Amino acid sequence: MALHIKRIYEPREDTDGTRILVDRLWPRGVKKHDAAIDIWLKDVAPSPALRRWFGHDPAKWAEFQRRYRGELEKNASVIEELKRQIGRSDATLLYAAKDPDHNHAVVLLHFIDKD
């Protein structure tokens, strides 16, 4: 099983496997029929308050990671659902943020991989 992350704005590839949107909000400018997502798990995304606080500010990255991991630890049922959807196949976690290094999908990928 290979687990990847990528922006939803990038084209679908055969190597994506199951495509899982992990944003709470629908990405701007993406038509639902063009998104090529298999599953949309809104509840695995950071809380609205945490998302607003972070504001994709790299200076807040370390604290954002800590707070988001805390939210994930308290949300075991959603993490189990995500793991169930991933199963033993390849999967790609899709996100809309512009910064490929400082976004919640990076944290989520590492959180899932630690198990």
Give every CB contact of residue 48 below 8 A, 6+ residues apart in sequence. Answer: 24
Beta bridge partners of 93: 5, 20
| Tally of structural domains, the chain | 1
pLDDT of residue 1: 76
Beta bridge partners of 78: none
Q: Which domain holds residue 87?
A: 3-113
pLDDT of residue 25: 96
How many residues would you count in the chain?
Answer: 115
pLDDT of residue 101: 96
- Is the pLDDT assigned to residue 29 strictly greater than 80? yes
| pTM over 0.85, yes/no | yes
